[in-house]
Amino acid sequence: MRKTFGLLALLLVAPLARAGDALPLPALKIDASRTAVVGLSSGAYMAAQVQLVYPELFPNAAIVAGGPFGCAGGKLDAALGSCMKGVPAPDVGALVASAGRRSASGEIGALKNLAHARVYLLHGKDDALVAPAVAEAGAQFYRQLRDGMPGLKGMQVHDDDQRAFAHNLPVAGSGDDCDKSVAPYLGHCGFDAAGEIFAQMFGKPAHAATTAQGELRTFDQDALRPDGADAFLAVTGYVYLPLDCLAGKPCGVMVAFHGCRQNADAVGKAFVEDAGFNRWADVYDVAVLYPQTRASLAPLNPQACWDWWGYSGADYDSRHGVQLRWVVNAVRALGLPAGH
């Protein structure tokens, strides 16, 4: 009982300690033609949700160790079974058909906006948490969507599934954690996943990345609550701002979703500083938004995952989903034009 109360106290007090430090997002000159979402694990499912629900805003997505959109169907047991272990295997055909129906009804975005989408799926062969069959189902989802829907033949789907790493985001340095899934879930595998993600999303770089030269700032996430509704996020989020963006140059925007137990309360600034995105953001002139979840017992989300099974409500993966609407508020505040 004492441990339970201690955890509750930690969950309630820790975010409040930083509330006074958070500022609004700066308004930049955002180029609406250069947007992307990326995520690891629960963040990968979240990235897919943002892309399918708001394809007019985010046609490009990089999905690391995740599965197909709509996989959980609002059920935690399905999320833990079919959508992580691959038992039973996700029914990709049914998920694609469901996406088509939901798009036609307006529950998610118009899929025609994926006509020139870039989708990059990355999954390690040593991943023991999200089964290879689940990642393959994610790739098949996009292929079937592309091949079965008129107007989507130009969608690019790159399935990168032959690299040896565990359930983590690979980074450029070498170390002994590539084949493990341990905090902060950045595997030193000698593969710069962030660089590959930028290239897949925005094309070949103009030059190699060095060290990050821009500014990493905190911002007030509560100020962006949709209609005041709790989005089950931390008080404070992070945003990386290349110097050119701060100087007024048109910039792209990437939203990077951490995985479970990879939020700042759990791993500090490891993900927002060390994943590798910031130095490539300088090369491409792309601002990187790092929204942060919070752990909770009610609703049950003790590992601070993004909502890809319904803890925030039954409409979590629709245009009514509170976390998805929060993301739209955030990119609008950052300067994404209202006409897009």
pLDDT digits (tens, 9 = 90+) for 169-195: 999 988 999 999 999 999 999 999 999
3 or 208, which is more confident? 208
What's the pLDDT at 295? 97
Sign of CA dihedral 31, 319, 102, 307: positive
What's the pLDDT at 339? 64
- 286, part of any domain: yes
* Calpha distance 216→239 (Å, rounded): 6
The enclosing H or E element of 34 equals strand 30-40
What's the pLDDT at 55? 98
Q: What is the span of the domain harbouring residue 82? A: 30-334
Q: In 3D, which of 59, 184, 166, 69 has the Cα closest to residue 115?
A: 59
Lowest mean pLDDT among 4-13, 124-133, 139-148, 275-284: 4-13
- Residue 14 in this model has a pLDDT that exceeds 60: no
Instruction: Please state the domain count of the chain.
Output: 1
Distance between start and end Cα atoms, the chain: 50
| Six token digits for residue 161 | 């599934």
* CA distances (Å), origin 85, targets 65, 78, 130, 133, 297: 12, 10, 6, 8, 24
What is the share, in percent, of the chain residues with pLDDT greater than 70?
93
- 81, part of any domain: yes
| Six token digits for residue 180 | 């493990």
Q: Name the average pLDDT for the chain.
A: 93
- 2, part of any domain: no
- 339, part of any domain: no
- 17, part of any domain: no
Say how many C-beta atoms besides its own lie within 10 A of residue 193's C-beta: 28
Task: Give the pairing type, strands 61-64 and 118-124.
Answer: parallel
Query: What average pLDDT score do residues 192-216 get?
Result: 97
| Six token digits for residue 197 | 């993600």
In the structure, what pLDDT confidence band is assigned to residue 338 with cuts at 50, 70 and 90?
Answer: confident
- Residue 212 in this model has a pLDDT that exceeds 60: yes
In the structure, what pLDDT confidence band is assigned to residue 4 with cuts at 50, 70 and 90?
Answer: very low
- 16, part of any domain: no
* Calpha distance 61→47 (Å, rounded): 6
- Residue 6 in this model has a pLDDT that exceeds 60: no
- Residue 19 in this model has a pLDDT that exceeds 80: no
Q: Give 308-335 pLDDT, tens digit per residue.
A: 999 999 999 999 999 999 999 999 999 9
The enclosing H or E element of 95 equals helix 92-105
Q: Using an 8 Å Cβ cutoff, are 67 and 137 in contact?
A: yes
In the structure, what pLDDT confidence band is assigned to residue 22 with cuts at 50, 70 and 90?
Answer: confident
Q: Across 232-284, where does the E strand assignment appear?
A: 236-241, 251-257
Catalytic residues, which ones? Answer: 41, 127, 167
- 10, part of any domain: no
Q: Give 222-244 pLDDT, tens digit per residue.
A: 999 999 999 999 999 999 999 99
* Calpha distance 235→265 (Å, rounded): 11
Strand, helix or coil at 17?
Answer: coil
- 315, part of any domain: yes
Say how many C-beta atoms besides its own lie within 10 A of residue 154's C-beta: 10
Query: What average pLDDT score do residues 105-113 get?
Result: 98
Q: In 3D, which of 187, 231, 241, 235 has the Cα closest to residue 40?
A: 187
DSSP state of 210: -
What's the pLDDT at 21? 66
